Amino acid sequence: MAALLAARGLQTSDQWIVERTGIRARHFADDGVNSSDLALHASLAALQAAGRVAQDIDLIIVATSTPDMIFPSTACILQHKLGIAGCAAFDVQAVCSGFVYALAVADAMIKTGSARCALVVGSEVFSRILDFNDRTTCVLFGDGAGAVVLEASNEPGILATDLHADGRHVGILCTPGTVAGGQVLGDPLLKMDGQAVFKLAVQVLDSAARAVLEKAGRSTDDVDWLIPHQANIRIMQSTAKKLKLPLDKLIATLDEHGNTSAASVPLALDVAVRSGRVKRGDTVMLEGVGGGFTWGAVLLDF
C-alpha cells in the first residue's frame, strides 16, 4: 500500500499505516466502476446466500456517500441492473453509519407491513474523493460493497435498533463540496479531524451499544459477536473494552479492506459468516459511526 502512495508522491510506510490504523490492504475500483456496480456483485451474493432471486425483493435500500449520480439514486440504478422494477428503491446517506441506518429503516418498514423482503446494501467508491496529498486520510479509505437480505418472519431477527445524529459536529468529517451551475463549488475531497473523530466515536459507540441492549432486554453477556464500523483498530478495541467484551468476540476485517464507510459493516459480517465464526443462533451487535455526526447500533439474533 505504501508503494502505491509513494507512486502518487506521498511518502509513508506500511509500518506507519499498520501501527496507527491496523490497515494492511485496500481495494480501489477501476475507472468506470461505480457504486452500483459493486452493489450489484454484493447483492447477487446476498441473494444466493439467502436462497432468493431478485424478483423476490420488494424493497431496495442502498447506503452510500459516493453515489453514481446526483440523481437518480444508486438504489434505482441497482434495481435496473438486477432486472427488476416496481419495488421501492432509495438511498440512505449517513456516511459510515449508513448500513446500520439502512438496516434499521428496512426493519421498520417490514414491521409495519410496507415490505416483506428487503435488499439492504452498503456500497462505496471512496477512492474518488480522497486527497492523496493528505496522509491523515488517504491511507484509511477504500472501495467495497456488502449486502444482506432481510425478510419478514414470526421470529425476531433484529431485536432492537438505536440511531442518533449530532449536526454540531459536521465539520470534523466531511466532503465540503457541491455542484452548481455546472461547476464544483467548495472542496470535493474528504476532510477529517482524526483526533476529534476518535474521541467522539468511542463515546457514542459505547452509548449506542448500551442503549440497544437495554431496548432488547439483553446484557453484554448475551453478545456473541461485536461487528463495529471498520474505521480504526484502536477505536474498535476501545469500544469492546468499554463494553467489557473480550477481543476474541470482536470481528475485525479492516486489515483486509481498510475503511469502506457504509460497506464496512456488511463486509465484516459476510467474512464472519463465511468463515464460520457467526453461526445460527448467535447474538450479534452491529455498530456504525460516521460523518454528520451519525451513529447507531443494531442488535440481532442471527
Query: Which pLDDT tens digit goes with each residue over 31-63?
Result: 999 999 999 999 999 999 999 999 999 999 999
C-alpha cell at 257: 479492506
| In the block, residue with C-alpha cell 438505536 | 162
Report which of residues 9 and 230 the model is more confident about: 230
Q: What is the pLDDT of residues 259-274, one digit of tens each?
A: 999 999 999 999 999 9
* pLDDT band at 15; cut points 50, 70, 90: confident
Q: Is the pLDDT of residue 228 over 90?
A: yes
- The pTM for the full model equals 0.95
Please provide the average confidence, as pLDDT, over all residues in the chain: 94
* Gap between the Cα atoms of 291 and 165, Å rounded: 9
pLDDT for residue 10:
56
Confidence of residue 22 (pLDDT cuts 50, 70, 90): confident
Residue 22: Cβ within 10 Å count? 19
Binned at pLDDT 50, 70 and 90, residue 11 comes out as low
Cα(1)–Cα(185) distance, integer angstroms: 31
Compute and round to an integer the Cα radius of gyration of the chain: 18
Query: What per-residue string of b and e applies to 65-95 under the rule 16 or more CB within 10 Å gives b?
Result: bbbbeeeebbbbbbbeebebeebbbebbbbb
What domains are there in the chain, each with its CATH number?
A: 2-151 (3.40.47.10), 158-301 (3.40.47.10)
Helix (H) or strand (E) holding 149: strand 143-151
Residues belonging to the active site: 96, 229, 259
pLDDT above 50 for 6: no
The pLDDT of residue 12 is above 90: no
List pLDDT tens digits, range 64-114. 999 999 999 999 999 999 999 999 999 999 999 999 999 999 999 999 999
Specify the pLDDT at position 18. Answer: 82
pLDDT digit string, tens, across residues 140-197? 999 999 999 999 998 889 999 999 999 999 999 999 999 999 999 999 999 999 999 9
Percent of the chain with pLDDT strictly greater than 90: 91
17: confidence class by pLDDT, cuts 50, 70, 90 = confident
End-to-end CA distance of the chain: 35
